[in-house]
Amino acid sequence: MKKVIFISPMYNAASHLPELIESMKEQTNVNWKHILIDDMSSDNSFDVACELTHNDDHFQIIKNKEKRWALKNVINIAREYQNDPNVIIANIDGDDALCNENTVELLLNAYKDDKVETVWTAHSWDINGMNISRELPAGINPYEFSWCSSHLKTWRADILSKISDSNFKDLDGDWFKRGYDQALYLPLLNVSNKRKFINEICYLYRINSKSIPVRLLSEKEQMDTVRLVRARGFIK
C-alpha cells in the first residue's frame, strides 16, 4: 500500500504551525506521515510542534543541531526512503499549509498509475489567491520550460536514487540555501518517466510570512539560484 511522507523544514514558524498541523489532521485519507524539521529556529517552533502533535504517531519532530537550510533537510530525509517505490514524498514548508482535506487521497489516486513518478497540484497565494502551477507538456525539458510545477510538489521516493547530490549544490559544492523549489524539483521532473498535474487547489502558499526587506533579499538570492540551476541543467 502506498503512503505519503510529508517533509516540512521549518524556521521560526511557530505562529503558522497550528494551521499546518491542523490541515494534516483533517486529511480524509490516513495513509500519511508528517516529518517536521526545526532548522535552528530562534523562536519556540520545536516546542509548539511537539505540543500540537503529542501522542499522534502520524508526526515526527526533528530538531537540528546545526543549520542545514530547507533543501538539504528535504533531501536528507527523502534519501532514507529512496529504495521504496511505495512511498510518495511531498514537500510542504513549515509556514505553509494544505487547504484541501482530500489532498492525500488525490495524490494516492494519481500514483495508482505505476508509471507516474511526479505529481504536483494547484495552489493559492495567501495575498491574492494566485496560482502559477499548470500542466508540463510531455517530452519537454523542464529546465528549458517556464516554471509551472510549484506547490504542492511530490514524487515517488525511488526516483531520487537516479539523482546525485551535485544537482542540489552550487558551483562551490555548497547546498543551495535559497530558491530551493526549482533546485529541488527540476532534477526530479527531469528523470521522471511520467508527470501529472492535479488541477485542484491543495496548498496554501504564504507570501506575507516575511518582512519586505527580508523578502526582497530572499527573492534576489532565489533568482541567482534559479539562473544557475537552469543554465547548468541536469548533472548525471
pLDDT at 207: 79
- For residue 126, how many other CB atoms are within 10 A of its CB? 16
- CA separation, residue 204 to residues 118, 140, 145, 208 (Å): 20, 27, 24, 12
- Count CA atoms within 13 Å of residue 127 on its CB side: 5
C-alpha cell at 118: 511526479
pLDDT tens-digit readout, 50-69:
999 999 999 999 999 999 99
Please say whether the dihedral angle defined by the alpha carbons of residues 205, 181, 34 and 157, taken in this order, is positive or negative: positive
What the block records as the C-alpha cell of 60 is: 515526527
Report the percent of the chain where pLDDT is more than 90: 85
Q: Is the pLDDT of residue 209 over 70?
A: no
Q: Which fold has domain 3-232?
A: Spore Coat Polysaccharide Biosynthesis Protein SpsA; Chain A (3.90.550)
Q: Which helix (H) or strand (E) holds 28?
A: none
Integer Cα distance of 4 and 30 in angstroms: 9
pLDDT-derived band at 93 (thresholds 50, 70, 90) equals very high
Query: pLDDT (tens digit, 9 = 90+) per residue, 218-233?
Result: 677 888 999 999 999 9
